[in-house]
Amino acid sequence: MGAEITDIAPEAARVIAAVEGREPVESDILIAADGANSPLRRRFLPHVAPRYAGYVAWRGTLDEAGAPPRLVSFLDDAFTFCEARSGGHMLVYFIPGDGADVRPGRRRLNWVWYVGAGEQELDRFLTDKDGRRHHASLPQGMASSALIAEICKLARREVHSMFAELVAATPDAFVQTIVDVVVPQTVFGRVMLLGDAAFVVRPHTAGATAKAAHDAWVLGRNLGRAKRNYDAGLKAAESLQLDYGNNLIRYGIALGSRWASTRTERPTTP
């Protein structure tokens, strides 16, 4: 843990990983599960780059104890959506508080608001209060007061008044770009990309964690079937992984395209 892989030497029947400050690690298979910005993906697929979807997700959390009671009452016991006037939508739901506490009064309100952003707007959204331009997301606490004021004003114009009140009451809202990452393969000799190191899908699918679990499951199952024929097991797992990942990519794009064209303000509370 906490040690960087500095080089990989794939050989016919093994992989040797050079690790900074440690002895090299030799294995039959190397699983590259190093996340959405995977350095190992860039190593094996240098031509694959994230494709910006044309919108961002503004996000925030608010302690229930510090939220106006009428806001808590309005949003409680529901997963609430609101379509924005100019396209996109916002969703709100409760999450556990400190110590995974789910008791009323100890929870947090979590919200996500998808907002269209052209290149100029994206530059502004990703520039922090110190004037630094971030690559893909603006961390919590780094938005300038002017940008927060702009988002609060936009919320008053675009979404239901209760949602706008939630945005205004939230400290340290932050933003992340929405991207798609599509890979043509995930196996490179005895190295396999897994989870977000392979495909990066849009949040609308609610499927990134399931995708990573699926990747691990099909890998384990096919390695078990292949016995000691690791190469056959990897290739069989890759085929299933590519089908699953491409289907989720298409599903996420379809959902994003549909929601981007909505024009209603009234929220629905299932």
Class of the CATH domain delimited by 51-179? alpha beta
Residue 105 confidence (pLDDT):
95
What own/partner pairs with CB < 8 Å and gap ≥ 24 does 160-163 have? 160/82, 160/265, 160/266, 160/267, 162/71, 162/74, 162/75, 162/267, 163/82, 163/90, 163/92, 163/111, 163/113, 163/267
Q: Where are the domains of the chain?
A: 5-50+186-259, 51-179
Strand order in the sheet with 5-10: 5-10, 15-19, 25-27
Q: Is 47 buried (19+), middle (13-18) or exposed (0-12) by CB count in 10 A?
A: exposed
- Provide the b/e sequence for 211-220 (b: ≥16 CB within 10 Å): bbebbbebbe
State pLDDT tens for residues 16-37.
999 998 999 999 999 999 999 9
* Angstrom distance (rounded) from CA 5 to CA 15: 12
pLDDT given at position 152: 95
Please report the pLDDT score of residue 260 as a whole number.
59
pLDDT tens, position by position, 117-140: 988 889 999 999 999 999 889 999
CATH of domain 5-50+186-259: 3.50.50.60
Residues of the chain below pLDDT 70:
259-270
- For residue 57, what are the β-bridge partners? 114, 176
